[in-house]
Amino acid sequence: MKKMSAPQMSDAELVAGIKRMKQEKDIVVLAHFYVQDDIQDVADYIGDSYQLAKLATTTPQQTVCFCGVNFMGESAKILSPDKKIIMPDINAGCPMADMISSDEIERVKAQYDDLAVVAYVNTTAETKAHSDVCVTSSNCLQIVRSLPQKNIYFIPDVNLGSYIKSQLPEKNVILHDGFCCVHHKIRVAAVQEMIAAHPDYKILVHPEAQAEVVALGNVVGSTKVLLDEVKKNDAPGYIVCTEVGILHQMKKAAPGKEFLVPTRTQTCRSMKRNTLQKLYDAMHTLTPEIKMDEELMQQALRPLEKMMELAESKVSTL
């Protein structure tokens, strides 16, 4: 059955309605750093994918509206199976998450006795279910370093995997060829050109970017790490090598600073599928809802729990 949309309203009316329904229906709204600015402004919490999924487990509200892409809603449901997880656009997918299949994972497993399958948290529940441990861009070095296995199959992001490989030469990191369409398109020449024009600006790079771009970064880390750097650093400006959605929070954190992006293609179309109208509609109808097979949820939970266990002792972050 086709979902019915509410009558067309102005942005101000949508925002007022969203705020009202939060109270009336006891809904918490979580928004990823990469969604549109107006959604970030109306959300209760803003963060990266794993940070928000974990946060969903602690909020008192039993209904969570997750503004992001579908693997994020899955992670929230896996960690909070008793809560209702809804999304403004359940068809907002992550191309990188779809670049790996369970068949590929099992094929590599068959080739090595001493192997750990390490899945970036930016993956589907199906991929997580075939993995040994999940990692985020903040804890990947700490966790991979702590694993007893020498052979590491890192999936799906070749760029983050290459960064881990360069930092942990003692491990045999086997790379998959997946990539983030946004970060992969950031060109080293464009970054170098900006550095030449603004030599006193700090270069902030997400490790999903290509190795040549990562090598130029003054700070390399997760979206949250990059935002935290802006809050504490006194540089006059920043060259930001990640998705442009983070600029909204960076500008709030450091008003008066200049933020530059090297390429115009640093926009995730999937994240931008989340709109105020869709958020309003989801809260109004409490749909679409993330529903998952119980056995798959249990299998996908294991590597997430393993990640939390290994990350308990916070020794290092990207």
Tokens of 252: 């709030």
Q: What is the mean pLDDT of each run of 10 residues along the chain (318 residues)?
A: 63 97 98 97 94 93 97 96 97 96 97 96 97 94 96 97 96 97 96 98 96 96 93 93 97 95 93 98 98 97 94 50
* Tally of CA atoms within 13 A in the half-sphere of 188 that contains its CB: 8
Interatomic CA distance for residues 220 and 160, integer angstroms: 11
CATH 3.40.50.10800, the chain: domain bounds: 11-91+271-291, 97-181, 186-260
Residue type, 5: S
Cα-Cα-Cα-Cα dihedral sign, residues 224, 225, 228, 233: negative
The fold for domain 186-260 equals: Rossmann fold (3.40.50)
Q: Please, what's the b/e burial string for 36-49 (b: 16 or more CB within 10 A of its CB; e: otherwise)?
A: bebbbebbeebbbb
Q: What single letter denotes the amino acid at residue 165?
A: K
Contact 289, 81 (CB under 8 A): no
Q: What is the pLDDT of residues 248-268, one digit of tens each?
A: 999 999 999 999 999 888 999
Contact 109, 148 (CB under 8 A): no
Please say whether the beta carbons of 248 and 223 come within 8 A: no
Which residue carries 């070095």 as its tokens?
141
Structure tokens at 274: 């989340």
Answer for the pair 248, 37: CB distance below 8 angstroms, yes or no: yes
Look up residue 33 and give its two tokens: 């750093």
**Span 210-235, pLDDT tens digits:** 999 999 999 999 999 999 999 998 89
**Domain topology for 97-181:** Rossmann fold (3.40.50)
What's residue 5's pLDDT?
52
Find all residues with CB under 8 Å of 119, minimum gap 6, and list them: 127, 128, 131, 133, 134, 135, 155, 156, 303
Q: CB-based contacts of 220: which residues, under 8 Å, 6+ apart?
A: 163, 205, 206, 207, 214, 318
Q: What are phi and psi of 175, to 5 degrees?
A: -100, 145
Which pLDDT score is estimated for 312? 73
CATH architecture of 11-91+271-291: 3-Layer(aba) Sandwich (3.40)
**Amino acid, res. 35:** V
Across the strands, what pairs with 153?
117, 174
Residue 216 has which token pair? 């130029």
pLDDT of residue 197: 98
Per residue, the 3-state secondary structure of the chain, as one string, reads: CCCCCCCCCCHHHHHHHHHHHHHHCCEEEEEECCCCHHHHHHCCEEECHHHHHHHHCCCCCCEEEEECCHHHHHHHHHHCCCCEEECCCCCCCCCCHHHCCHHHHHHHHCCCCCEEEEEECCCCHHHHHCCCEEECCCCHHHHHHHCCCCEEEEECEHHHHHHHHHHCCCCEEEECCECCHHHHCCCHHHHHHHHHHCCCCEEEECCCCCHHHHCCCCEECCHHHHHHHHHHCCCCEEEEECCHHHHHHHHHHCCCCEEECCCCCCCCCCHHHCCHHHHHHHHHHCCCECCCCHHHHHHHHHHHHHHHHHHCCCCCCC
Tokens 């296995």 -> residue: 149
Global confidence as pTM: 0.91
Tell me what pLDDT residue 318 has: 31
